[in-house]
Amino acid sequence: MKKYKKVLLILIPLLVVVVAAAAFLYQRQQNQTKSNEPKPTEAMVFFHGYGSSRNAEKSMSNYLVKEKVSSRKINVTVSKNGKVDFSGQAKAGDKNPIYLVQFNDNSNVDFAKTNQWVTTIMTQLHKQGIKSVNLIGHSMGNMAIVYYLKNHVQQSSQLPAVKREIDIAGHFNGLNRQGAAFSSLNEQGQPSQETDTFKALAGLEKYYQNNSTKVLNIYGNSTGSTQSDSTVPNNSSKSLKYFVQSPSTYQERLISGKNAQHSKLHENQEVDELLVKFLTDKLS
């Protein structure tokens, strides 16, 4: 019995050392494998809505990681004075990293200012090796996107190309409280009554004419006959079509029911599935 105990006293520490060494070698091999893989050159960037935060982006981004469309999430914080901080950088072996943007001044509707913020983010992404991006916005986040595009009609060698754009609950011709926002649209998507919001986007079409960006416009009807997501009329969202011209392409999808309410759209399973299909070029 004493000999048996002595053997155990020798074998157990030895076994611990062997297991630890094997784990170390395995991790080193994994790291070596990843280091031999290229750094990603394409990324997804999420923009939240008015008064919101990156928390509104978590459900969608978690689903994209779950479905293996992406393998990593990185936080981007824009301070009230416009300083941009990244929680990290994409590494070799990462797949389509997701950048979750948070505007600390989250009720700022000066879109000349948000354009500066987005431009700073894109400039830094390009310096980090990101050559193309897929931009995803909810509510006012869409305005941050389109004002950025409007101000960058000509592709710059210092900025990533915008490969895809996904707009969720966009208010391109105003909000529910504006009667004109419910205006009918012609075949081109132009409202019969244009709000100041729509008029201010004049020139946006030049971006789409000068670039090749795939656009998916998602909007919700949670109110039934009034055709609104309770905050934005469907026709206001659909008026984006007017600006998206060839060679860029445009698709739109309606989400219906109680979970199509404005703030619930970024937690909606149908929206998640549309994102995956569109980002993987499987949406017909």
Give dist(CA 84, CA 75) in Å, integer.
10
pLDDT by 10s per residue, the chain, length 284:
555 556 556 666 667 666 666 566 666 655 554 456 899 999 999 999 999 999 999 999 999 999 999 999 999 999 999 999 999 999 999 999 999 999 999 999 999 999 999 999 999 999 999 999 999 999 999 999 999 999 999 989 999 999 999 999 999 999 999 999 999 999 999 999 999 999 999 999 999 999 999 999 999 999 999 999 999 999 999 999 999 999 999 999 999 999 999 999 999 999 999 999 999 999 98
The reported pTM is 0.87
Nearest to 47 by CA among 88, 102, 86, 9: 102
Strands (E), the chain: 42-47, 73-78, 84-86, 98-103, 132-138, 161-168, 214-221, 249-256
- What is the DSSP pairing of strand 98-103 with strand 161-168? unpaired
How many helices and strands, by DSSP H and E, does the chain display?
Answer: 8, 8
Rg (the chain; Cα; Å) = 23
